[in-house]
Amino acid sequence: MFDLNKIREQFPILKKQVNGKDLVYFDNGATTQKPQSVIDAVSNYYQEENANVHRGVHFLSGLATDKFEETRNTVRQFISAKHNHEIIFTKGTTDSINLIANGFRSLLKKGDEIIISELEHHSNIVPWQMCCELSGSTLKVIPLLDNGSLDMADFNNLLSKNTRLVAVSHVSNTLGTINPIKEIIEKSHSVGAKVLIDGAQAASHICLNMQELDADFYCFSAHKMYGPTGVGVLYGKEEILNTLPPYQGGGEMIKEVSFEKTTYASLPYKFEAGTPNIAGIIAFKSAIDFITELRIENIAKYEDELLQYATSEILKIEGVKIYGTSKNKSAIISFNIEDLHPYDIGTIVDKMGIAIRTGHHCTQPIMKRYNIPGTVRVSLAVYNTKTEIDICINAIKKAQEMLS
Amino acid sequence: MFDLNKIREQFPILKKQVNGKDLVYFDNGATTQKPQSVIDAVSNYYQEENANVHRGVHFLSGLATDKFEETRNTVRQFISAKHNHEIIFTKGTTDSINLIANGFRSLLKKGDEIIISELEHHSNIVPWQMCCELSGSTLKVIPLLDNGSLDMADFNNLLSKNTRLVAVSHVSNTLGTINPIKEIIEKSHSVGAKVLIDGAQAASHICLNMQELDADFYCFSAHKMYGPTGVGVLYGKEEILNTLPPYQGGGEMIKEVSFEKTTYASLPYKFEAGTPNIAGIIAFKSAIDFITELRIENIAKYEDELLQYATSEILKIEGVKIYGTSKNKSAIISFNIEDLHPYDIGTIVDKMGIAIRTGHHCTQPIMKRYNIPGTVRVSLAVYNTKTEIDICINAIKKAQEMLS
Amino acid sequence: METIKGIQAGIIEDFEMFDDWMQKYEYLIDLGKELTPIEEKYKIEDNLIKGCQSRVWLHAEKQDEIIIYTADSDAIMTKGIIAILISVLSNQKAAEIVSADLSFIDAIGLKEQLSATRANGLVSMIKKMKLYALALNNK
Amino acid sequence: METIKGIQAGIIEDFEMFDDWMQKYEYLIDLGKELTPIEEKYKIEDNLIKGCQSRVWLHAEKQDEIIIYTADSDAIMTKGIIAILISVLSNQKAAEIVSADLSFIDAIGLKEQLSATRANGLVSMIKKMKLYALALNNK
Ligand SMILES: Cc1ncc(COP(=O)(O)O)c(C=O)c1O
Ligand SMILES: Cc1ncc(COP(=O)(O)O)c(C=O)c1O
């Protein structure tokens, strides 16, 4: 049923050698690798179906349009959203968040407040800073506890009748913390605030149900879930999306254009100006199929097993400190080794074929919180193995030797 | 040297049958087909090189970053821009124009004027309408002459010291008109206005030289030039791009993020928030290589030959009227046949394997100008042939028979 | 008055005679040409259904218990499709129209024969006809 | 005073002895450890070169006709790279520094050995050192 070899076989890049060693790819938080089915879907589209979508009367255009809309339907099922038109295709999580930050701005006035958290990715910080600056509203920040979880007591204090929107990530890309978003959503709704969830690190690891979760907006990127680059999803509740002004102007998003008055198309097209990433969106369906065939519960269970193993092995390294130790955690481990700079460690283990990420991971406020220049980050995916973890730990120990 | 068979062989989709007939693809204005080299570049990226770009210390990340930046360099050479950092990757022409319309807005005040033209694609109309609405500036429109060329006398009258920006297309996607952009740029500059050129329909047909042309901004889409979907270019002059505020907030586009103060990265990264369409951008290089190997002058010459032939054949159809008959024309032919609706024609010839576009082509003001519901549009690319034109004309005549 | 079901069966039979798309299209074109024109006074904005490429004017009125549809379009094949829909749904009771199961569309392969845009137009046309019937019934 | 060219030749010779990346890295790490620390008072914002991942403080001063560089970094391999650059460029005349052709970098394959981010850091470090020399020379 859950056959690791069979899974790995589907990813051609995993057979690669890097610097003369078998690739160990532990940079999944940045982007995952792609199964052959996704790669083939892209090729197949260009070889058999390529045409611009919507409005075309000819066969290929109809075919491409059908397949394009099929992905929308697949995404809706995948996250149990109510309507297909609540699924907006964007170029990534960053694009999705900016779309909402831009639209929401027009609803804000001075004195209104937006709440984010200290562990957000820059993509879920900077758009709100820009939004607040332009609208005169105020940005509030939920602080972190030492273990890398949100200070929920403080969140309760921050929430008020002035809160218009709360934007937090489902899973921290640096600390691995799974945030209590259900609780955050409920509490935010109770004061009348909307909630945007940055699900970039969650969508391929946690089973999502929009109707149950009741999030107002949920954003994620295909490339972090075994899918193509340049494709993102913005889920939004129909009634709220309808109140937002369009983001970009262009083809597809209009009903009628005249120089006197332009009217906009209905959802989802109102937010999909211009020719979309058709190949990527069509191939994205194969990525979701890959996940649903394995069942995301199985993926989560296996990844958790890897997380436990990797954590215990990393803790055996002398002088190691893990950042992000909350109980509810996804398979992302950030750590530092006493007296060593993460950059040096990353540079050395790379030579041994191991791809890990070092640095601030686009979360500089977390670095500031812990007063560190960066971390070494191991982020795991379904195709990783315990053997790979062993190889990685050995490489890190070797680096430690060289550097001490 | 210019071997049509060899060219056609590179496009796998051209071997396809549609509705039992050999595909004749004349919808190149909407999107072109892709040569095998582009398709392979995408697969190869996912199979051999996939990793997130920038900031990564590991091998794959470095490789992907190098290739990514190689495309930027190739684009710079292709359009003879001065600096690599004047090339911003976007998701398409629409995205590029919106980026500028958003940034420019912050420089505008009431009383300022933006000039567009009557033949613009909605993507070069709606963003400026939104921009004017939010900034209180006024939108002026260069009208069309009957032959589908711009009324340059009127343009001269519209230009004034209040003009801040002129946004026109290089080639009309509906009428084929090649606009006198060099003249427009010079005249606009003489009153101190900036110029944005929508080059979506020009980049794969006309040799571009940014330094000679002196455009301030130039926008185009990879998918209309034998490249992947979901990739666009915004060229902008360094000194002007530097005066614009960032568009989207997120990873990569920052220098430092803190809750007190965020500073932005330098060009081009300032405008490239979030994970880009890495696969698409890397494969885009192969598309440009395809064009430069054929030499764009050869492409233009051949397409012009096709244009002349197709025009003369179409004019033999009884009751036909071509919209867009200016002398300086690209290989796009829009027409109608007396008493017939374009939609009916398109639907019938599709059954004969012919992909043409019908409708308003996202240029409703042109339809209004000529008081027509739409046109039949034949748009040609380098792989098209005279035989295909014959097949298409016969199909149209057959449709005319059936419909009359 | 023939039932909706009965009329559909007749259409299915008609279409079974056709060997290829061309005959089907020619049939649609003929139906389009023969469609009783809508009265000019009903060709107004309020009755306009804007499709992607062609425009359709649809008018409905109630005579006794019966709903009568008239329509027009600027594209002839669109007109042909409306003609079929009218032949099925016009002159029927509102309740019948609202609950009608229009299985003939799949049976004659109309959607596959049409482009995706046209198929969408077809769906929204049916929706509109049912809505009109519902509204008139509640009057 | 050895010439910039001469010093580079020495470095190239050193690197030729190494069989693999590990020896090269160990050498860089050793150089990093041995780098004379910058005076604390120069470890200020103004002297900071912010790389993607590590920070470098660079200070330059002129003694007679000669430019003297001191530097530090929080990452040891970055420090090693700076140590090499300093060994080549420090204690040289400003004019020599500004016009120096640092071909040893390609010769020892430093860029290929390093990640792209580090290679970028290297380039900007050299730029900065030359700029400092130029500025001091004009004083
Ligand atoms: C003249 C012109 N401008 C802009 C666009 C929009 O390009 P895209 O859909 O790739 O954003 C098009 C494409 O149809 C076009 O033809
Ligand atoms: C938590 C989180 N949010 C947002 C993003 C941005 O995603 P993208 O770069 O695909 O727009 C990332 C990706 O690094 C992330 O991890």
Q: Pick the last residue of a domain from B259, B274, B293.
A: B293
Instruction: Verify cis geometry, omega within 30 degrees of 0, for the bond prior to B276.
Output: no
The identity of residue B62, as a single letter, is G
Q: Please report which ligand is nearest the Cα atom of A198.
A: 2
Q: Pick the last residue of a domain from B278, B293, B308.
A: B293
Q: Are residues A274 and A300 in the same domain?
A: no
Ligand 1 center–CA B220 separation, angstroms: 8
pLDDT of residue C115: 65
Indicate the range of A30-39, A49-58, B148-157, B327-336 predicted with least confidence. Answer: A49-58
Q: Is A232 on the interface with D (CB under 8 A)?
A: no
Contact B374 C76 (CB under 8 A): no
Mutant choice from B229, B271, B284, B371 vs A, greatest count of A C-beta within 10 A:
B229
Q: Are residues B238 and B319 in the same domain?
A: no
pLDDT of residue A194: 98
Query: What lines the ligand 1 site, CB under 6 Å?
Result: A 251, 274-275; B 92-94, 121, 123-124, 169, 173, 198, 200-201, 221, 362
Q: Are residues A300 and A289 in the same domain?
A: no
Does the pLDDT of residue C119 top 90, yes or no? Answer: no
Task: Say how far apart CA B110 and CA C34 lie, in whole Å.
Answer: 56
Instruction: Verify cis geometry, omega within 30 degrees of 0, for the bond prior to B268.
Output: yes
Contact A250 B61 (CB under 8 A): no
Domain limits at A99?
39-293
Contact D89, D81 (CB under 8 A): no
The identity of residue A318, as a single letter, is E
pLDDT of residue D107: 85
**How confident is the model over A183-204, as pLDDT tens digits?**
999 999 999 999 999 999 999 9
Contact D2, A328 (CB under 8 A): no
Question: Distance from B57 to chain D by nearest Cα, in Å?
Answer: 5
Q: Are strands A138-142 and A113-117 parallel, antiparallel or unpaired?
A: parallel
Ligand 2 center–CA B281 separation, angstroms: 19
Contact A226, A251 (CB under 8 A): no
What is the pLDDT confidence band of residue B316, given thresholds at 50, 70 and 90?
very high
Contact B358 C55 (CB under 8 A): no
Q: Are residues B260 and B342 in the same domain?
A: no
**Chain D: residue nearest A398 by CA?**
D22
Select the residue of A358, A374, A403 nearest D76 (Cβ to Cβ). Answer: A403
CATH number at residue B10: 3.90.1150.10
| H-assigned helices in A223-379 | 238-241, 278-294, 296-314, 342-350, 364-370
Q: Are residues B323 and B255 in the same domain?
A: no
Q: Please report which ligand is nearest the Cα atom of B199.
A: 1
Average pLDDT of the residues of chain A = 97
Mean pLDDT of C51-77: 90
pLDDT of residue D116: 63
Chain B residues 237-266 with CB within 8 Å of chain A: 246-254, 256-259, 262
Find where tokens 């820009």 sit. A130
CATH number at residue C117: 3.90.1010.10
pLDDT of residue B337: 98
pLDDT of residue A306: 98
* Beta-sheet strands, E only, within B121-265: 138-142, 163-169, 194-198, 217-221, 232-236, 254-256, 263-264
- Chain D residues with CB under 8 Å of A373 CB are 53-55, 74
Compute CA B51 distance to the chain's CA centroid, rounded to the nearest angstrom: 29
Which DSSP state fits B245? P
Residue-by-residue DSSP string for A78-96: HTT-S-GGGEEEESSHHHH
Select the residue of C50, C53, C116 nearest A62 (Cβ to Cβ). Answer: C116
Q: Are residues B351 and B262 in the same domain?
A: no
Calculate the alpha carbon distances from A48 to A43, A187, A248, A288, B102 in Å: 8, 50, 30, 21, 37
Question: Distance from D114 to chain B by nearest Cα, in Å?
Answer: 8
Containing H/E element for B357?
Answer: strand B357-359
| Number of domains chain D is built from | 1
Task: Say how far apart CA B62 and CA B60 lie, in whole Å.
Answer: 5
Question: Distance from B18 to chain C by nearest Cα, in Å?
Answer: 13
Q: Please report which ligand is nearest the Cα atom of B196.
A: 1
The identity of residue C111, as a single letter, is K
DSSP SS3 for B208: coil
The residues pairing with D48 across neighbouring beta strands, listed in sequence order, are D57
Question: Distance from A135 to chain C by nearest Cα, in Å?
Answer: 37
Mean pLDDT of B96-119: 97
Calculate the alpha carbon distances from A180 to A152, A183, A323, B339, C138 in Å: 9, 6, 18, 64, 49
Domain limits at D32?
4-137
Ligand 2 center–CA A225 separation, angstroms: 12
Calculate the alpha carbon distances from A208 to A212, A220, A228, A293, A319 in Å: 9, 11, 20, 15, 38
Q: Please report which ligand is nearest the Cα atom of A277.
A: 1
Residues of D carrying an active site annotation: 52
Q: Are residues A249 and A303 in the same domain?
A: no
Q: Is A257 on the interface with D (CB under 8 A)?
A: no
pLDDT of residue B168: 98
Residue-by-residue DSSP string for D78-131: HHHHHHHHHHHHTTEEHHHHHH---THHHHTTHHHHS-HHHHHHHHHHHHHHHH
Contact B59 A350 (CB under 8 A): yes
pLDDT of residue B392: 98
pLDDT of residue C124: 82
Q: Pick the last residue of a domain from A293, A308, A336.
A: A293
Instruction: Please pick, among C44, C48, C52, C131, the residue that the annotation labels catalytic.
Output: C52
Task: Say how far apart CA A56 and CA A51 lie, in whole Å.
Answer: 9
Chain B residues 130-159 with CB within 8 Å of chain A: 130, 139, 141
Q: Are residues A23 and A87 in the same domain?
A: no
Q: Is A201 in the pocket of ligand 2 (CB under 6 A)?
A: yes
Q: Is B251 in the pocket of ligand 2 (CB under 6 A)?
A: yes
Q: Are residues A214 and A195 in the same domain?
A: yes
| Number of domains chain A is built from | 2
pLDDT of residue A55: 75
**Chain C: residue nearest B340 by CA?**
C75
The residues pairing with D69 across neighbouring beta strands, listed in sequence order, are D60
**How confident is the model over B10-39, as pLDDT tens digits?**
999 999 999 899 999 999 999 999 999 999
- Chain A residues with CB under 8 Å of B88 CB are none
Mutant choice from C76, C110, C111, C112 vs B, greatest count of B C-beta within 10 A:
C76
**Chains C and D touch, contact meaning at least 3 pairs of CB atoms under 8 angstroms apart:** no
Task: Say how far apart CA A355 and CA A392 lie, in whole Å.
Answer: 9
The CA-based diameter of chain C, rounded to the nearest angstrom, is 45
**Chain A: residue nearest C53 by CA?**
A55
Q: Would you say the C-alpha torsion A319, A324, A328, A333 has a positive or negative sign? A: negative
Q: Are residues B235 and B301 in the same domain?
A: no
Calculate the alpha carbon distances from A137 to A110, A115, A132, B70 in Å: 5, 11, 5, 41
Taking the CB of residue D128, how many other CB atoms lie within 10 A of it? 18
Calculate the alpha carbon distances from A138 to A164, B251, C91 in Å: 10, 22, 62
Ligand 2 center–CA A95 separation, angstroms: 10
What is the pLDDT confidence band of residue A251, given thresholds at 50, 70 and 90?
confident
Q: Whose CA is closest to B279, among A252, D116, A13?
A: A13
Q: Are residues B75 and B95 in the same domain?
A: yes
CATH number at residue B101: 3.40.640.10
Mutant choice from D45, D52, D55, D117 vs B, greatest count of B C-beta within 10 A:
D117
Cβ contacts below 8 Å, chain A against chain D, sum to 41
Nearest atom in ligand 2 to A223's CA: 10
DSSP SS3 for A174: coil
Nearest atom in ligand 1 to B232's CA: 10
The sheet with strand B320-323 has its strands ordered as B320-323, B332-337, B375-379, B357-359
Q: Are residues A336 and A212 in the same domain?
A: no
Residues in C whose CB is inside 8 Å of some CB of A read 50, 52-53, 115-118
DSSP SS3 for B142: strand
**How confident is the model over D33-48, as pLDDT tens digits?**
999 989 999 999 889 8
What are the average pLDDT values for consecutive 10-residue runs of chain D, which has 139 residues?
89 89 92 93 88 86 93 93 93 93 84 69 86 87
Is-above-0.90 flag for pTM? Answer: yes
What is the pLDDT confidence band of residue A1, given thresholds at 50, 70 and 90?
low
Taking the CB of residue C135, how many other CB atoms lie within 10 A of it? 12
Query: For chain B, first and last CA: distance in Å?
Result: 45
Q: How many residues does chain A have?
A: 404
String of b and e for D60-97 (b: at least 16 CB within 10 Å)?
Answer: bebeeeebebbbbbbbbbbbbbbbbbbbbbbbbbbebb
